[in-house]
C-alpha cells in the first residue's frame, strides 16, 4: 500500500562495517599495543550506541479530493508516520508534529522530538493520488513510555451508525461492525502501548459506570473504547463533460472509558470526505478488499489510524495496572502475560486496591503502596506467575490488588 525505501542507515551500516573489519583483522592484533585494542572496542561501543539513529527516504501517499494542499499534508503525515513506525520511535508524539506538518515548507526542524528533521525531496501526482518523498531523520529514545510500561488491554465496543438511513447508498449497514474490526487491526498491528482484550456487543453507556467496570474486569481490560459513526451522507459533483462524481462523508466519534472507575477519559470527533467510486445502486461489501482499497476505504482507514494515535497520545504514559487474580502460598497469579510484554525476571511493586464510592455515588479508584516486591517466574500468553520476595507479607496480598512495573 505504501512505498518505503530505506536508502541509508548511517550508523547501523558503520557498525556492521566495523564488525566485519574486526572479524578479519582482530586475530592479527596480538602484536599491537593494548591502547589500540581499547580504541577499537570504544569505537565499536560508540557505533552500537548510535545504531538506532537513522535517516530514511520515505514516500507517503494520499488521495486527491478536497485540494492539492490537503493531499500534500496527508501524504507528508503518511511519510513521517511510516518512518517513526519503522524505527520504533514513539508514535504517541506524532500528534504533536501534525500542526507543524500542516504548513507548506520544504524543510521542517524539530527540537525535543525523536523526529529531528524532515526534508521534502519530491512530489508528484498520478492516477488521482498525491505522492511525496521526504528525507526524515529519526532518533528513537530508550525512555519513551511504551518502552518502560507493559501494554494495556482495551475492550472495544461495536461502533454503531446513528442514522441507518445514511447507509442506504451501497447498503453499507454493516460498516459499523467492520470499522470496529479495522480499529482492532490498527491497534493489534501498529499500537505500541495497547492490545485488544476483546470486542463486546453489550451497549456502552457512560451513565452506568458499574456495568462498565464489570465488563472491563471480565475481559482484563484497563480501558473501554467505543464510538458512533455519525455521518455517511453524500454529495453529487455534476460535470458536463465528465462523469459525475459522488463525494461521501465519514464522520465518527470516539469515547475512551477507564475500566477501573467507569469514568469518561477522552472524547474526540473525526471527519473525512472522499470519492465514492461505486454505483449509487450497487451493494457494496464493506469487508472486501475492493472497498478498503478504494479512495473512500482508505479515508476510513485513516480515521481508524488517527483514533489509534490519539489513544497513544492520551494514554500511553498512564501506568499499566496488572491485577492479582489468585494467591497460592508464595505464588501470585496476575492477568497479564507475554503479549503484554512481561518477561521472566521482571520485578513488580504491589499496591493494595482501596477503591470507594463517594457521596455522589461515583466510584473512586485509590491505591495504597506497599513494601512488597514480586518477581516474574513463569510467563504465559495472557497471564504470569510471580513469587513474593517478602514471604512474611504474603498473607496481606488479596485478589484485586494491583501491581506496577519496577524500573531498574
pLDDT, tens digit, 9 for 90 and up, residues 216-246 = 999 999 999 999 999 999 988 766 555 678 8
CATH number of 145-315: 3.40.50.10610
Q: Could you report the per-residue pLDDT of 19-70, keeping only the tens digit for each? A: 322 333 334 334 445 444 444 433 333 333 344 556 889 999 988 876 888 8
For the chain, the structural domain boundaries read 3-138, 145-315, 324-405
Answer yes or no: same fold for 3-138 and 324-405. no
Per-residue pLDDT tens digits for 275-308: 999 988 899 999 999 999 998 999 999 999 999 9
The CATH number of the domain covering residues in 324-405: 2.40.10.410
Of the segments 37-46, 75-84, 133-142, which one has the largest average pLDDT value? 75-84
CA–CA dist 396, 381 (Å, integer): 27
Q: Residue 152 pLDDT > 90, yes or no?
A: yes
C-alpha cell at 187: 491497534
pLDDT at res. 363: 64
Superfamily of domain 3-138: FlgT, N-terminal domain (3.30.1660.40)
Query: Scanning the structure block, which residue is given the C-alpha cell 582482530?
Result: 26
The reported pTM is 0.80
Positive or negative, the CA dihedral 65, 67, 68, 74 is negative
Average pLDDT over the chain, rounded to whole?
84
Residue 332 has pLDDT above 90, yes or no: yes
Amino acid at each position: 500500500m505504501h512505498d518505503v525505501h530505506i536508502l541509508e542507515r548511517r550508523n547501523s551500516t558503520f557498525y556492521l562495517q566495523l564488525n566485519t573489519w574486526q572479524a578479519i583483522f582482530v586475530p592479527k592484533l596480538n602484536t599491537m599495543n593494548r591502547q589500540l585494542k581499547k580504541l577499537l572496542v570504544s569505537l565499536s561501543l560508540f557505533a552500537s550506541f548510535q545504531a538506532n539513529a537513522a535517516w530514511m527516504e520515505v514516500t507517503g501517499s494520499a488521495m486527491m479530493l478536497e485540494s492539492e494542499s490537503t493531499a500534500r499534508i496527508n501524504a507528508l503525515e503518511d511519510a513521517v508516520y511510516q518512518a517513526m513506525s519503522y524505527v520504533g520511535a514513539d508514535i504517541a508524539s506524532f500528534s504533536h508534529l501534525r500542526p507543524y506538518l500542516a504548513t507548506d515548507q520544504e524543510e521542517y526542524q524539530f527540537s525535543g522530538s525523536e523526529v529531528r528533521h524532515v526534508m521534502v525531496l519530491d512530489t508528484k501526482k498520478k492516477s488521482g493520488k498525491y505522492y511525496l518523498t521526504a528525507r526524515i531523520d529519526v532518533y528513537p529514545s530508550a525512555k519513551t513510555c511504551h518502552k518502560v510500561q507493559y501494554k494495556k488491554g482495551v475492550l472495544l465496543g461495536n461502533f454503531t451508525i446513528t442514522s441507518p438511513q445514511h447507509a442506504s447508498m451501497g447498503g453499507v449497514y454493516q460498516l459499523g461492525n467492520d470499522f470496529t474490526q479495522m480499529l482492532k487491526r490498527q491497534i493489534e498491528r501498529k499500537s505500541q502501548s495497547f492490545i485488544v482484550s476483546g470486542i463486546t456487543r453489550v451497549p456502552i453507556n457512560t451513565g452506568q459506570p458499574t456495568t462498565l467496570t464489570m465488563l472491563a474486569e471480565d475481559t482484563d481490560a484497563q480501558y473501554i473504547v467505543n464510538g458512533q459513526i455519525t455521518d455517511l451522507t453524500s454529495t453529487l459533483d455534476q460535470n458536463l463533460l465528465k462523469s459525475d462524481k459522488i463525494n461521501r462523508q465519514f464522520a465518527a466519534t470516539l469515547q475512551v472509558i477507564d475500566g477501573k472507575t467507569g469514568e469518561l477519559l477522552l472524547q474526540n470527533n473525526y471527519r473525512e470526505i472522499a470519492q465514492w467510486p461505486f454505483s449509487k445502486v450497487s451493494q457494496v461489501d464493506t469487508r472486501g478488499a475492493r472497498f478498503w482499497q478504494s479512495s473512500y476505504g482508505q479515508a476510513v482507514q485513516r480515521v481508524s489510524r488517527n483514533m489509534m494515535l490519539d489513544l497513544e497520545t492520551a494514554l500511553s504514559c498512564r501506568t499499566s495496572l496488572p491485577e492479582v487474580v489468585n494467591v497460592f502460598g508464595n505464588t501470585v497469579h496476575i492477568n497479564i502475560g507475554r503479549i503484554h510484554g512481561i518477561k521472566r525476571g521482571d520485578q513488580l511493586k504491589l499496591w493494595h486496591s482501596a477503591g470507594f464510592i463517594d457521596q455522589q455515588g461515583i466510584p473512586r479508584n485509590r491505591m495504597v503502596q506497599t513494601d512488597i516486591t514480586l518477581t516474574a517466574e513463569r510467563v504465559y500468553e495472557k497471564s504470569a506467575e510471580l513469587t513474593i520476595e517478602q514471604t512474611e507479607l504474603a498473607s496481606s496480598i488479596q485478589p484485586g490488588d494491583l501491581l506496577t512495573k519496577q524500573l531498574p
